[in-house]
Amino acid sequence: MVTIEDLSPTTFLVKNASKDLSNKLKFAIPTGSRSYTENGWVVRKDFLEQVKSWIRFYNQEVKDQTTKSKTEDYYKALHLTPDAPIFLVDATWKLLARKYHPDSVDGNQELFIQYKTAYEKIRR
């Protein structure tokens, strides 16, 4: 987790910055206004709000990547929300399977396999 500490009345320290955040600090803040030490990035307080917004952005990005589960993708594949009751999952699967089964008139093997996989993953 990224932390910010006051170093002096004019500077602050950014600890545990991710690689993306470090690159942002390195290229977006002028050289005279930031420096890197073994403890982290030392930045002038003129850039405090900007750095805080970047931290929020990158933390949100990381949070989204880590909390997004494959299950949500499977529900989305079946055109459902993750909080859909299981009976709705079953009913949706049956309708889609009937419609897209390769032996049916409107059959589509690729879609059928996609729906089948999603249904099987949700029901596990």
What are the residue ranges spanned by the domains of the chain? 3-67, 70-123
The Cα 28–Cα 85 span in angstroms is 47
Structure tokens at 26: 């390195």
Identify the architecture of domain 70-123 in CATH.
Orthogonal Bundle (1.10)
7-54 confidence digits (pLDDT tens): 888 898 888 888 888 888 888 888 899 999 988 999 998 888 888 888
**CA dihedral sign of residues 25, 59, 66, 17:** positive
pTM for the full predicted model: 0.47
Mean pLDDT score, 71-85:
85
Q: What are the Cα distances from residue 28, in Å, to 71, 78, 90, 95, 122?
A: 37, 42, 51, 53, 44
Q: Are 112 and 86 in contact (CB under 8 A)?
A: no
